[in-house]
């Protein structure tokens, strides 16, 4: 994510090719202003939360907050994946029941939500009766339609992933798990199968007609490449363990954990019982705007899940967004290497930099594209200092201090809308620049281009910084005759800071609220529901408003190398 470190040209209101692409994606993803649904993967309870799960959930949270701020009716879902052989085994090793293990670890995931400022609307657990009963109903429908059948299967099985692998792919992988490196095993099972092979051409047609279905583009190409190998039917039940949802009418089988888990996206909205109370309230959110996942679980979401939805006649999600991985010092994070950015490590960052800085780093520097991103203490510190201390906080604090010093902490009266943002030839006016930028930010948020959204929002702060440096109001103020000009400059700076803080709120809700409150412009009531463009419209900060001094981010010591 180099873009935010690159030196930048003076901001203008003209649209670049990246922005044009964002606008096209926006049209593709959000054809209307209908209710919006976003999901995270549901996390395995045999693992503890770490940077990975926190990352995906934070990205979804930023999007959900941005859409809410834009006046959309949003449903944001996360939760835990609690069945399967691995949970059964871990519980046995600890001498507790699988349910006790699931309760304990699911609670760990829920505990994150407050401290990370995650604003999910529901938290689904696959051991909840509301999920289990609907999964059974869905499976019964698929049995009835013949999309699920009883058959025998011999194939290559990845025990760690609980996943079958095709002959072609197993050969490519030299018969080893791509995740653990352990040998694949030859397994035979009498099982229930989902007739995935029957959906090959429908999926191909669907993908052709929906080129934004899997993003980023590089990931879509991977899916299309694998699809060319041909699709095999996939087992939907297991008999080698019991910790799962019993197969309707054949309780010696339990429903395979992946099938059970994928259904969470539909059961949380009550779609298994279309006449039920939950569906009455929530069915309006279907289909999802985004299923946000990590790259390792793309196949399940991009191929198996859409085929299941086709079999159930449910509308397709708009986009499966598969980000890449956080790595640590160039290496994959793993328990054996002991290099995991775990909750204890994250706590240390919270204590030193605060949660908003953490969210900023996740959103702007994370592996949202096809490249993995290296998490380093030094880089975190550099970004914190450059973006948050030297840019955002510096502008908010200089502006509020000067308003205090020269205007007694009250927003001065001045006509700023038609003032050019800088002395550069052709510079747009403040109102045109911020209006175009707010529209750009809104489009980037909606198209899940979160780093671009943050960068565009920060461009307003950079413009304020340029204005202060170009005009030096602190020098002008030495001569009382210049006060009307100083008023004009500082009024523009204060309004610029306010607009930027509105646009950055989805990423840094706490610190932006702090700045907006100090600037007498808290986003409550009408201001929060009138839509992003209205909240960011130039002129929101009226003359006479009290402005308190604020310094949202403080300089901190660099980490020890």
Binding site for ligand ME8 (CB under 6 A): 41-44, 47, 52-53, 55-56, 81, 261-262, 264, 293-294, 296-297, 325-326, 333
How far apart are CB 363 and ligand ME8 at their closest, in Å? 13
Q: How far is the CB of 126 from ligand ME8 (least distance, A)?
A: 9
Token digits for 256? Answer: 């395979």
Q: How many CB atoms lie within 10 A of CB 167?
A: 11
Helix (H, G, I), strand (E, B) or coil at 373: strand
Least CB distance to ligand ME8 at residue 254 (A):
16
Q: Smallest distance from the beta carbon of 466 to ligand ME8, in angstroms? A: 36
In angstroms, what CA-CA distances link 20 with 16, 120, 221, 392, 443? 6, 30, 22, 27, 10
Based on CB atoms, which residue is closest to ligand ME8, 47 or 204? 47
β-strand partners of 75: 37
User: With respect to ligand ME8, which residue has the nearer C-beta, 43 or 358?
Assistant: 43
Dihedral over alpha carbons 95, 100, 105, 107 (to 10 degrees): -150
- Tally: H helices and E strands in the chain: 24, 15
Q: Render the burial of 513-543: b for 16+ CB within 10 Å, e for the rest.
A: bbbbebbbbebeeeeeeebbeebbbbebbee
Least gap, CB of 64 to ligand ME8 (angstroms): 16
Task: Please tell me the chain's helix, strand, coil percentages from 3-state DSSP, rounded to the nearest 5.
Answer: 50, 15, 35
Question: Shortest gap between Cβ of 291 and ligand ME8 (angstroms)?
Answer: 8
**Based on CB atoms, which residue is closest to ligand ME8, 368 or 403?**
368
Nearer to ligand ME8, 143 or 293 (CB): 293
Residue 225: which region, alpha, beta or left (left: phi > 0; alpha: psi -120 to 50)?
alpha
Q: Which is nearer to ligand ME8, 41 or 85 (CB)?
A: 41
Considering the complex, state which of residue 87 and residue 503 has its C-beta at the smaller distance from ligand ME8: 87
Nearest approach, Cβ of residue 259 and ligand ME8 (Å) = 10
CB of 219 to ligand ME8, least distance (A): 12
Helix intervals (H) in 70-161:
85-94, 98-113, 129-145
The residue among 15 and 374 lying less far from ligand ME8, judged by its C-beta, is: 374
Cβ closest to ligand ME8, residue 26 vs residue 63: 63
| C-beta closer to ligand ME8: residue 121 or 162 | 162
φ, ψ for residue 425 (rounded to 5)? -60, 135
- Least separation, in Å, of the C-beta of 81 and ligand ME8? 3
Tokens linked to 467: 């204005």
Peptide bond into 237 cis (omega under 30): no
**302 vs 333 by CB, closer to ligand ME8:** 333
Min CB(454)–ligand ME8 separation in Å: 18
Which stretches of 283-429 are DSSP H helices? Answer: 298-299, 305-311, 343-353, 355-365, 377-383, 394-407
Pairing status of strand 373-375 against strand 326-328: parallel
Is-contact 138 266, C-beta < 8 A? yes
- Rounded to the nearest 10 degrees, how much is the dihedral formed by the CA atoms of 83, 87, 92, 98? -40
Rounded alpha-carbon distances, angstroms, from residue 256 to 169, 183, 451, 483, 493? 21, 21, 36, 72, 58
| List of long-range contacts for 382-391, beta carbons under 8 Å, 24+ apart | 383/4, 384/353, 384/357, 384/360, 384/553, 384/556, 385/555, 386/5, 387/4, 387/360, 387/458, 388/357, 388/360, 388/552, 388/553, 389/553, 389/554, 389/555, 391/458, 391/461, 391/462, 391/465
Two structure tokens written together for 252: 């010696």
**Residue 335 Cβ vs ligand ME8, minimum distance, rounded to whole Å:** 12
Closest distance to ligand ME8 from the beta carbon of 307 (Å): 15
Q: Between 42 and 231, name the residue whose CB sits nearer to ligand ME8.
A: 42
Q: Which of 193, 265 has the CB closer to ligand ME8?
A: 265
> Which is closer to ligand ME8, CB of 42 or CB of 268?
42
Cα–Cα distance measured from residue 150 to residue 384, given in angstroms and rounded to the nearest whole number: 56
Q: In angstroms, what is the minimal distance from the CB of 521 to ligand ME8?
A: 35
Chain residue whose CB lies nearest ligand ME8: 52
Q: Tell the smallest beta-carbon distance from residue 215 to ligand ME8 (Å).
A: 14
Confirm if 499 and 434 have CB atoms less than 8 A apart. Answer: yes
- In the bound state with ligand ME8, the residue whose beta carbon lies nearer, of 60 and 490, is 60
360-375 burial, b at 16+ Cβ within 10 Å, e below that, comes to bbbbbbbbbbbebbeb
């Amino acid at each position: 994510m180099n873009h935010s470190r690159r030196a930048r040209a003076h901001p203008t209101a003209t649209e670049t090719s990246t922005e044009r692409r964002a606008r096209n994606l926006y049209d593709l993803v959000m054809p209307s202003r209908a209710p919006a649904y976003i999901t995270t993967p549901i996390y395995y309870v045999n693992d503890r939360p770490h940077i990975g799960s926190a990352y995906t959930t934070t990205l979804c949270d930023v999007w959900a907050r941005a859409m809410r701020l834009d006046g959309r009716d949003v449903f944001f879902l996360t939760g835990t994946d609690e069945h399967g052989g691995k949970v059964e085994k871990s519980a046995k090793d600890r001498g507790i029941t699988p349910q006790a293990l699931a309760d304990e670890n699911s609670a760990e995931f829920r505990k994150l939500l407050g401290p990370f400022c995650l604003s999910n609307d529901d938290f689904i657990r696959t051991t909840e009766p509301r999920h289990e009963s609907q999964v059974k109903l869905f499976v019964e429908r698929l049995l009835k339609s013949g999309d699920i059948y009883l058959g025998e299967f011999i194939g290559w099985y990845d025990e760690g992933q609980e996943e079958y692998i095709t002959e072609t792919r197993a050969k490519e992988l030299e018969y080893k798990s791509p995740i653990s490196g352990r040998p694949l095993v030859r397994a035979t099972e009498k099982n229930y199968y989902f007739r995935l092979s029957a959906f090959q051409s429908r999926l191909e047609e669907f993908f052709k007609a929906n080129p934004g279905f899997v993003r980023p583009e590089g990931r879509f190409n991977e899916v299309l490449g694998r699809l060319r190998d041909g699709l095999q039917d996939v087992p939907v039940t297991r008999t080698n363990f019991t910790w799962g949802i019993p197969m309707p009418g054949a309780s010696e089988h339990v429903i395979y954990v992946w099938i059970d888990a994928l259904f969470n996206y539909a059961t949380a909205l009550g779609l298994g019982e279309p006449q039920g109370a939950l569906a009455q309230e929530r069915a309006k959110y279907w289909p999802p705007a985004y299923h946000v996942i990590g790259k390792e679980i793309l196949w399940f979401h991009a191929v198996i899940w859409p085929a299941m939805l086709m079999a159930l006649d449910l509308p397709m999600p708009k986009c499966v967004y598969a980000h890449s991985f956080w790595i640590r010092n160039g290496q994959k994070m793993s328990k054996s290497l002991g290099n995991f950015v775990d909750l204890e490590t994250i706590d240390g960052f919270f204590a030193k930099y605060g949660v908003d800085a953490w969210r900023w780093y996740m959103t702007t520097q994370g592996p949202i594209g096809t490249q993995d991103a290296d998490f380093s203490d030094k880089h975190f510190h550099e970004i914190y200092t450059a973006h948050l201390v030297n840019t955002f906080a510096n502008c908010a604090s200089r502006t509020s201090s000067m308003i205090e010093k020269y205007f007694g902490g009250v927003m001065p009266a001045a006509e700023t809308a038609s003032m050019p943002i800088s002395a550069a030839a052709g510079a747009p006016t403040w109102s045109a620049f911020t209006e175009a930028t707010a529209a750009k930010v809104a489009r980037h948020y909606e198209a899940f281009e979160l780093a671009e959204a943050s960068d565009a929002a920060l461009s307003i702060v950079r413009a304020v910084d340029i204005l202060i440096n170009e005009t030096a109001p602190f020098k002008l103020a030495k001569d009382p005759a210049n006060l009307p000009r100083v008023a004009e400059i500082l009024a523009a700076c204060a309004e610029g800071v306010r607009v930027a803080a509105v646009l950055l709120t989805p990423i840094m809700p706490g610190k932006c609220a702090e700045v907006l409150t100090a600037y007498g412009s808290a986003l409550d009531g009408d201001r929060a529901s009138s839509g992003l463009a209205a909240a960011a419209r130039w002129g929101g900060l009226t003359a006479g408003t009290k402005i308190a001094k604020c310094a949202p981010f403080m300089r901190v010591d660099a980490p020890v190398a």
